[in-house]
Structure 1
Amino acid sequence: MKRIFTSKFLKIIASIAILLGFSFTYLAFVAVVIPKNIEPSTKEGQVRVRITPGSNVSSVARQLMSQGVQTSNWHVQIVARGFFLGKQLKSGFYDFPPGANLATVLFKMGRGDSVKLNVTLVEGWTFKQFKAAIDSQVDLKKEAKSWSAGQILAKIEAKELHPEGVFFPDTYVYEPGDSDLIIYQRAYLAMMKNLNNAWEVRSSDSSIKNAYELLKLASIIEKETGHPDDRGLVAAVFNNRLKLGMKLQTDPTIIYGLGDAFDGNIRKKDLLKDGPYNTYTRYGLPPTPIAMPGKDALLAAAKPAKSKALYFVAKGNGRSVFSETLVAHNQAVQQYQLRK
């Protein structure tokens, strides 16, 4: 009799297990929780939902329902706990196609596969280009769009009074709804970190007196270098000129000084017209950086190549010819610029 009772009991348990399994399968893979007629939240036709930090299973259910998802607390509880996702659901923004089921939704949240957007700030860009790129991000909250550069610097507690060069070119990831100030803050802190690292490893014979001067020189190197392999030699030329008290005579500073008036050509009158960024008429570095230098330009400014070169001229293929004497430089100009 005992064996018969045990056999019946096991059959009942097995039946219940099978029934629960079918129930989970139905709830997880058949129940549609995002209606197909719901209005998409993104241009890709996806429905975007947001889960706030610190949410438990019940609050996740409430947030899903408040954002148009057709489900219930007990549906979410059963599926989340049945698949051991109860403590794994993560905050963030999540995109789903209309018609997505509960399993798809909760497994994605369990993986933390939230929406990640990014903005790329390019080496050699000016602050104006940098700000335009941030302002164009439709999913960023535009707190600083109408602010002046000074207001932005003050808000992120920057020590510098001029925005040029103090933001690090990189790709910055953000979530929809983040403030644009987050990008400015991250880029500023990243530049200060990279600048300080470069300053710490500078050469003992460097002509640079402080980290901000290094930033200025790095920005010029960034704009003057057509090929990565020439970066160290370009830095050497400017370092040598600064040591000897020679004018830098670099076109990118002229272009920066002209601003919106630059039409693609530098004329003789532009070289002769004095101004703070005219390194043909003034000695030393310009008053501020002229662009956002990358890590390699910063390190090149800190540790120039060992060279006595004082001149360089573009060959037309992205590389440059470096010369120690004016005679050799003029010959290179004749060969590569004037084509004689």
Structure 2
Amino acid sequence: MAPVRFGRGGAEDRSDKASRRRTARHVWREKKRSHTTARERVAGGDVRELGRQITGVVSGVHKSRCTVTDELGDEFSCVWTRAALGEGIETPVVGDRVSAGVAADGTGVLARIEPRCGRLARMRLVNSDRFAPVGEEHVLAANVDVAVIVVAAVSPPFHPRLIDRYLVLCRHGGIEPLLCLNKADLADELPDLSPWERLGVETLTTSATTGAGIEGLRGRLRSKWAVLTGASGVGKSSLLNALTARFEPGSVSEPAATAEVSAATGRGRHRTSASSLIRLGEDTVIIDTPGIRSLSVWQIERESLRLYFPEFDAVTLACRFNDCLHVSEPDCGVRAGLENGEVSGERYESYLRMLE
């Protein structure tokens, strides 16, 4: 009889794996049973049936349930009913302020989602959520003051039009944009951020590798609720690691869960798969979001898009028509401004692309 081999791939290892799978399935079934029981107990819409009432913030969303963190930092796994969702809200998102009824086992049901204030939202282009179909609003973060738009000095390539789309979404959502140029240590020559600085957009240059600019970014976010957003591979996770721990010069440890860039496409690979809420201090919060590969504006009429380009304001006074779209209309002040240098050609091209 052959001896039983222990270690990697051996009988004992396979037995341990099988035991862990059985335990995980048991935990999942118990959690599902708790959620089902909670739903049944509030079938009439009264979460007081569950006992304890809490208020808190959604710190994570996982398909049909969400994690709610209360003011003490305790976490509860909650499901929701349609009655709890406010008008126009399809599903809870990270940053939502909520009230819930919770049971002794830590599961519960949302009672109410408070109206959202500052939010970052785009149009959903992929049907990855059964609660929100393609073409509907996809809220990335709710109740934020600042959107940190992270772009890379190199790899993935610098895309001015993506920045312009973010600025439109920030203005539409009532949040302040902060343009963060990361990976500055890798570039021989940094991209020019002056076109956005002239619009009044605050900019920062950082390196998560060397620590340059991290203290400035941390100070800028103090006492704010911020969302960290940008394309895949720009270094959001590395920035977050640097922000959540004091940077130690000479450290050789690799940041956790960072993304790499595909050599074939020049695009980043997703590492952050879902939005999450991280507290940097008592009153400082960052919502980390998955990297994006496309960004479509949401719920902005073609006739209103020009209002999101503040540099158009002065030159549109010269337009013959009040409803001028600045495309091919005669006597257009914006196109005249384009010819004499008052309007940036790159920004105007971004406007036309979004107008399509």
Q: TM-score, normalised by structure 1?
A: 0.26
Structure 1 or 2, whichever has the larger Rg, is 1
Higher strand share: 2
Higher relative contact order (CA 8 A, sep 6+): 1
Higher helix share: 1
